[in-house]
C-alpha cells in the first residue's frame, strides 16, 4: 500500500505540480522549490533531508512506523525519478489544481491508511508530539505555512494561493481515503425520562446506548446521561425521538471519525 501510494503521489508531482510551479507539502515541497529555482534533484533533496530525521526518529518513536516510513521515503525518491517523463497536458489551471490535489490526496491517503509515511515532517511531528506534546496537526500546518510563505516570496501571491488550494484538496481526499465516508456521531442526551428515550433509541435507531450517572453542577440534581454512537443520517431522527418524549432534554452531538467495537468495525479484523 505504501509503495502504490508513493507512486501515485510522485505522478501528481511530476505530471501536474511541477509544470504549474505548484508546491507540495512537507520536505517534498522544499525539494520542488529548490528544483524549480536551482535545478536541484527532488529525490536528492528528499533523501539528504531525511537522513538526520530518520536517525532522530529511530531513537525516539515507534520502530515499526520508522520502518514503513523508510520504505515510503525510498519508494518516493525512486518513483519521483522514474515518473519524470509523465505529463498530463491541460491548458486550464483549475484542472491542474483540483486533479493534482485529488491524485496527491489519494496517494497520501493510501500511505497513511497503513500507519506509514514518506518521512520528513511526518516523523518530526511525531517526535515533537511524543517529547513535548505538540499537536501533530499544528506542526504540519506550521511547516506547510512556511512553504506557502516561501512560495509567496519567490513566485508571488498567485502561486501561493494555488499551492494552498492544492494542499487543501489533497488533505480532504487523503482524509476520505483514510477514514472513509462512514462518519458517525457521538451523542449525549441528558433527560429525566432515560428509560423511555433509551428504549426508542434501541427500537427505532437499532442502536444500543449506555446510561451514565451524572449530577448537575448548578442544581445538584441527579441527571442521567445517555451515551450512544449513531450514523449521521440518524441525528434528525434522534432529535425527533427525544423531543417527543422529553421537550426539556439536552442533546449534545459530536463528530466521530472512527468507531471500533461491537456493531461497528471489529478491531482485530481492522488490524489484519
Based on the fold, state whether residues 153 and 263 are members of the same structural domain.
Answer: no
Beta bridge partners of 230: 185
Based on the fold, state whether residues 85 and 201 are members of the same structural domain.
Answer: no
Q: Which of 164, 179, 194 is the last residue of a domain?
A: 179
Q: Which of 124, 157, 179 is the last residue of a domain?
A: 179
Whole-model pTM: value is 0.70
Tell me the per-residue pLDDT of 27-47, one tens digit each, with 9 for 90 and over: 888 888 888 888 888 888 889
What pLDDT is recorded for position 40? Answer: 86
Based on the fold, state whether residues 158 and 191 are members of the same structural domain.
Answer: no
Residue 39 C-alpha cell reads as 535545478
pLDDT above 70 coverage of the chain, percent = 92
Q: Is 179 exposed, middle or buried (0-12, 13-18, 19+ CB in 10 A)?
A: middle
Based on the fold, state whether residues 153 and 198 are members of the same structural domain.
Answer: no
Report residue 139's pLDDT band, with 50, 70 and 90 as the boundaries: confident
Q: Which of 159, 179, 199 is the last residue of a domain?
A: 179
Which 3 state secondary structure label does DSSP give 87? coil
Work out how many domains the chain is built from and give that number: 2
Based on the fold, state whether residues 137 and 43 are members of the same structural domain.
Answer: yes
* Residues contacting residue 22 through CB under 8 Å, at least 6 positions apart: 16, 32, 96, 97, 100, 159, 162, 163, 166
Whole-number Å distance between alpha carbons of 169 and 148: 15
pLDDT above 90 coverage of the chain, percent = 23
What pLDDT is recorded for position 3? Answer: 94
Asked if the model's pLDDT at residue 158 lies above 90, the reply is no
| Averaged pLDDT, 146-169 | 86
Tell me the per-residue pLDDT of 220-260, one tens digit each, with 9 for 90 and over: 888 889 999 988 878 888 999 999 999 889 999 998 877 77
Tell me the per-residue pLDDT of 80-136, one tens digit each, with 9 for 90 and over: 899 888 888 777 888 888 999 999 999 998 988 888 888 888 888 888 877 776 666
Based on the fold, state whether residues 18 and 125 are members of the same structural domain.
Answer: yes
Contact 214, 152 (CB under 8 A): no
Based on the fold, state whether residues 194 and 149 are members of the same structural domain.
Answer: no
What pLDDT is recorded for position 156? Answer: 84
Residues in the chain: 272
- Grid look-up 449506555 returns 210
Based on the fold, state whether residues 94 and 204 are members of the same structural domain.
Answer: no
Based on the fold, state whether residues 170 and 56 are members of the same structural domain.
Answer: yes
Q: What is the helix (H) or strand (E) element at residue 140, kind and residue range?
A: helix 136-155
- Which residue in 209, 16, 196 sits closest to 102, CA to CA? 16
Whole-number Å distance between alpha carbons of 260 and 154: 46
- Which residue in 213, 232, 211, 212 sits closest to 222, CA to CA? 213
Based on the fold, state whether residues 89 and 19 are members of the same structural domain.
Answer: yes
Asked if the model's pLDDT at residue 266 lies above 70, the reply is no
Asked if the model's pLDDT at residue 271 lies above 60, the reply is no
Report residue 11's pLDDT band, with 50, 70 and 90 as the boundaries: very high
Based on the fold, state whether residues 150 and 235 are members of the same structural domain.
Answer: no
Look up the CATH number of the domain holding residue 200: 3.30.70.120
Whole-number Å distance between alpha carbons of 136 and 98: 25
Whole-number Å distance between alpha carbons of 199 and 117: 45
- Domain range for 138 is 2-179
Q: What is the mean pLDDT of the chain?
A: 85
What pLDDT is recorded for position 28? Answer: 85
Return the number of other C-beta atoms located less than 10 Å from residue 70's C-beta.
20
- Which residue in 99, 120, 77 sits closest to 16, CA to CA? 99
Full DSSP string of 248-261 = T-EEEEEEES--BS
Based on the fold, state whether residues 135 and 197 are members of the same structural domain.
Answer: no
Amino acid at each position: 500500500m505504501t509503495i502504490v501510494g508513493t507512486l501515485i503521489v510522485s505522478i501528481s508531482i511530476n505530471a501536474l505540480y511541477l509544470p504549474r510551479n505548484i508546491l507540495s507539502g512537507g520536505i517534498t515541497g522544499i525539494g520542488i522549490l529548490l528544483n524549480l529555482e536551482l535545478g536541484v534533484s527532488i529525490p536528492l533533496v528528499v533523501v539528504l533531508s531525511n537522513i538526520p530525521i530518520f536517525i532522530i526518529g529511530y531513537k525516539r518513536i515507534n520502530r515499526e512506523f520508522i520502518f514503513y516510513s523508510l520504505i515510503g521515503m525510498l519508494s518516493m525518491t525512486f518513483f519521483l525519478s522514474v515518473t519524470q517523463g509523465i505529463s498530463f497536458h491541460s491548458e486550464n489551471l483549475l484542472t491542474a489544481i483540483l486533479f493534482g490535489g485529488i491524485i496527491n490526496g489519494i496517494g497520501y491517503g493510501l500511505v497513511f491508511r497503513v500507519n506509514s509515511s514518506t518521512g520528513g515532517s511526518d516523523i518530526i511531528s511525531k517526535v515533537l508530539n511524543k517529547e513535548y506534546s505538540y499537536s501533530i496537526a499544528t506542526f504540519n500546518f506550521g511547516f506547510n505555512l512556511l512553504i506557502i510563505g516561501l512560495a509567496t516570496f519567490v513566485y508571488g501571491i498567485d502561486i501561493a494561493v494555488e499551492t494552498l488550494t492544492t494542499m487543501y484538496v489533497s488533505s480532504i481526499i487523503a482524509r476520505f481515503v483514510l477514514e472513509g465516508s462512514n462518519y458517525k456521531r457521538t451523542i449525549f442526551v441528558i433527560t429525566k425520562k432515560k428509560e423511555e428515550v433509551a428504549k426508542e433509541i434501541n427500537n427505532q435507531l437499532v442502536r444500543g446506548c449506555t446510561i451514565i450517572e451524572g449530577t448537575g453542577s448548578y442544581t445538584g440534581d441527579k441527571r442521567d446521561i445517555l451515551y450512544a454512537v449513531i450514523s449521521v443520517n440518524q441525528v434528525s431522527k434522534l432529535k425527533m425521538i427525544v423531543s417527543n418524549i422529553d421537550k426539556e432534554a439536552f442533546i449534545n452531538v459530536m463528530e466521530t471519525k472512527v468507531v471500533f467495537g461491537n456493531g461497528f468495525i471489529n478491531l482485530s479484523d481492522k488490524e489484519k
